[in-house]
Amino acid sequence: MTGGYRGVFFDMDGVVLDSSCLWEHIITAIKAEYSLDLSVLEASGGFELSTREAIRAVLEDMGIFSPDLYAAILSETDILYSRLFGRFACLREGMRSLLSSLAGKGVKTALVSNSSGGQMRLAAGHFALEGLFCAIVSSDDVVHGKPSPEPYLKALSMSGLNAREVVAVEDSVTGARSAAAAGMDCIMIVPDACHDCDAVLPVQGESCDAVLPAQGESCDVHPALMKVPCGMLAECLQRLL
């Protein structure tokens, strides 16, 4: 990683928000109400897809896809998200001060997620984050969500920055692949543990090529991936900017 970035693009769930408990409640409720078999997601890592892509994958795998059923489940998901958000989602500790600090330094930030536009607007409004991002990109704004590069390419276009000027912050291999495919460096936050903030490493259990798809590139060339404990994110960004 080169440092001197002019932009930091954040994933939402798991990075800006701690929303794991919220999604556990939503998935449990939807699975029970519609008698869904989620094994296709469990087997393929599909829980990291956008909501609409994950629901379509489940319904097609079960052989019960129909536009009406698909729309009903999407609608119910948004209803549950709105109803349960205040109880089961919270802003990551230190995130507001980090975003404010970046804004004060003139660093452009964007929120780039596989969540729906309604979910992102609710989250940004609930925590009064709207004014802190130069761009907010949801799954509604693109044809293909992460791991496609499209969400990050959309955010780059909206921000006026190029990929080499931006570092993404992600918490999943799906998100890291999306950022890398867009030509961006990526910080992947992991549970607090003994990791060196200076180390540029492949995601544990993944080869460099699986995470950084540019053919022929190794971990020490662009796009690069840095694994950082959650509690060290602000420190690492300060050292990189």
For residue 49, the model assigns a pLDDT of 79
Per-residue pLDDT tens over the stretch 157-196:
999 999 999 999 999 888 999 999 999 999 999 876 544 4
Residue 227 — φ and ψ, nearest 5°? -90, 125
Band of the pLDDT at 200, cuts 50, 70, 90?
very low
| Res. 118: pLDDT tops 60 | yes
| Distance separating alpha carbons of residues 144 and 141, to the nearest angstrom | 9
Query: Which tens digit of pLDDT belongs to each residue from 132-144?
Result: 999 999 999 999 9
pLDDT of residue 224: 74
Q: Give the bridge partners for 167, in sequence order.
A: 8, 185
Query: Pick from 120, 112, 108, 231: which is nearest to 175 by CA?
Result: 112
219 pLDDT higher than 80 = no
pLDDT (0 to 100) of residue 221? 38
Instruction: Give this prediction's pTM.
Output: 0.84
Is the pLDDT confidence value at 58 over 90? yes
Residue 45 is predicted with a pLDDT of 64
